Structure 1
């Protein structure tokens, strides 16, 4: 994958050179983008990727249990460790490293998974083991929470959570667990809203609709939207702004949980309109029933005032700008898989 010039900037005053950085889920979407951010901006940093990597195991919904893929790491020069965060013996492999920062991206992120035990084991229980590792290593912990914690809430601000699936519940329990460590180490949770951008392709069906719609259009198909998609609005955030938030979290003025979005809700219909414009495609859309209606979030819009105040975060990409930046990668993927 070509080096992104957007990564060639430093979002924090911290010098990560000569620091050891652990990225769990580092072969996944956001984790791999983080790994390359450090490699490109801090060449003397030691970056360790810990990832389960994909195999053929699937959940009852038919989706893969792991999305980590080696192709997301082509060009990566750091250390790669294959391991499962739920396996204590695997985690022991990390004991030999003097870790300064942990970016915890590993999780079951598929919101349609119904297996409650494996969701809690992976997202909550394993998180405690990593928090304990952070204490042992005196490392800062920056971890991925989720806008799914809000569920059908009308207010998207910490304290107004109402998850409507086990994934959102597991992320809320992670946030609650993290509070127990606020007086022991730097620990910051980032509630990602709908993230899209390069290196998400291997998420398969759970990749963003920006990518899925883009590929449908390039294949000569109509974009397939859920009925009422002009009224289904989410806060869509380009992955570069997610990286910005992660880096700035290392300098957070106080421990806590912070929303990472643009602060603006846009419709799925908007995505298709922007893609058609950028790709110069005119085609009638197709509308289908929503099979996830009972556990679906119909509206999200991040309240990012605290994120701005305590992290110094400001989103750089509107939906139009993010999709425009992403278009060359969507076309590259289409050319490779067609």
Structure 2
């Protein structure tokens, strides 16, 4: 499905974090729907390097890009020589910035700020130099435990990841005032869909519950999971928002969710229906009470107005579209 009718022939698009979850979906979207555009993927790709919490520093994986025929650059956005090379030897029309330290449990505040904030400023300078529109990944983590529905301007981040994304948004507003390029920040809520498996333990509970069920295990949920609500959004709607952000009515920071909160119990019930299973749920105490969001719901009023965004997938639709990939990943990577 094409979300804009613009002819992108001879346009050059940079996607940072292009071997990650969202970035790879964007790269493949452009290849399929705008084959005359030149797509450049930049990703640090994964190595054995881990953060202090034991999680990988980079989740980028070549398997997310199987079938992609554009240019691929392995590199770190913190590398100023690399960014200078991009400025001198390329001419970008659009930059989709998805690269980040995205682990919300990461404790390395220095690395988080350096990667998510300082390197983003360098990329903004690149966008200005190239007169390229910037579309970047912000996050619902900027809201912390703010009351629902979450609205731009009511931020209260409770971890350094959320703080770094809010800092990106504040920096973006400064550039909006002083530059002529379009800048759009998209605050993703709980995203799920193809390409997330290589996020390992940070992949969505939709994928994790799906694999529990396929392995014949009873799904394990926190107690009162029918009262723990999140705005879960299918990756297809994330791609729609990114593409429509190429031509916004105005620069700004916008929520990208469905505008509806659904429970973890809903996830398991829908998955059981789609997979044809009927395992009994096991309920365990929630060890994160006090530091856990019990309700997220995106206010997407301004997103609809400025971007023409309209979510196309209810959770039932998203899981139905995703279940074939959940099975494929289980057979090829898990089983």
Alignment TM-score, normalising by the size of structure 2: 0.97
CA distance in 2, matches of 1:170, 1:232: 26
Match of 1:60 among 52, 56, 69: 52
1:122 to 82, 103, 115: 115
Is 1:84–1:91's contact at 8 Å kept on the other side of the alignment?
Answer: no
Aligned residue runs from structure 1 range 131-146, under 5 A: 131-146=124-139
SS of structure 1 residue aligned to 2:53: coil
Q: Where do residues 300-311 of structure 1 align in structure 2 (5 Å cutoff)?
A: 300-311=296-307
CA positional deviation for 1:135: 0.5
Name which of 12, 15, 23 aligns with 2:7: 15
Whole-angstrom distance in 2 between the partners of 1:212 and 1:28: 18
CA distance in 1 between partners of 2:108 and 2:124 (Å): 24
Q: Aligned pair 1:173/2:167, yes or no? A: yes
1:41-52 alignment to 2 at 5 Å? 41-52=33-44
Q: Which aligned runs of 4 or more in structure 1 are off by greater than 6 angstroms? A: none
For residues 194-273 of structure 1, the aligned pairs below 5 Å read 194-273=190-269
Partner residue in 1 for 2:19: 27
Unpaired runs of 5+ residues, structure 2, are none
Give deviations 1:73-120, integer Å, cap 9, x for gaps: 011010000111112122223121110000000011111111111111
Query: Secondary structure of the equivalent of 1:221?
Result: coil
Q: Is the 8 A contact 1:142 1:246 kept in 2?
A: yes
Q: Tell me the CA shift for residue 227 of structure 1.
A: 2.4
Post-superposition offset of 1:230? 1.3
Q: Which stretch shifts more, 28-37 or 9-18?
A: 9-18
Does residue 74 of the first structure (1) align with residue 52 of the second (2)? no
In structure 1, C-alpha distance between the alignment counterparts of 2:286 and 2:125, rounded to whole Å? 41
Residue 281 of structure 2: aligned partner:
285
SS at match of 1:15: coil
Question: What is the DSSP-based 3-state SS (H/G/I as helix, E as strand, rest coil) of the residue aligned with 1:44?
Answer: coil
Residue in structure 2 matched with residue 164 of structure 1 by the alignment = 158
How far apart, CA to CA, are the structure 1 residues paired with 2:137 and 2:102? Answer: 10
What's the offset of the Cα at 1:17?
2.2
Corresponding position of 1:6: none
Aligned to 1:332: 328
Equivalent residues of 1:165, 1:295 under 8 A apart: no
Give, in whole Å, the separation in 2 of the partners of 1:284 and 1:326.
Answer: 22
Question: Which one of the candidate residues 89, 106, 111 is aligned to 2:104?
Answer: 111
Please tell me whether residue 94 in structure 1 is matched to residue 90 in structure 2: no
Deviation (angstroms), 1:228: 2.2
Report SS of the residue matched to 1:295: coil
Distance, in Å, in 1 between the alignment partners of 2:50 and 2:287 is 20
User: In the TM superposition, what whole-angstrom CA distance separates every residue of 1:188-224 from its partner, at most 9, and x where no partner exists?
Assistant: 0000000000011100000011000000100011112
Measure the CA separation in 2 of the matches of 1:257 and 1:295: 26
Taking structure 1 as reference, are residues 292 and 116 closer, same or farther at Cα in structure 2, changes over 3 Å only?
farther
Change (3 A) 1:119 1:289: farther
Counterpart residue number, 1:4: none
In 2, Cα distance between the equivalents of 1:40 and 1:57? 33
1:5 counterpart residue number? none
Q: CA deviation at 1:292?
A: 3.7
CA RMSD in angstroms comes to 1.0
Counterparts of 1:178 and 1:54, CA distance in 2:
28
Are the aligned partners of 1:83 and 1:91 in contact in 2 as well (CA < 8 Å)? no
How many matched pairs?
A: 330
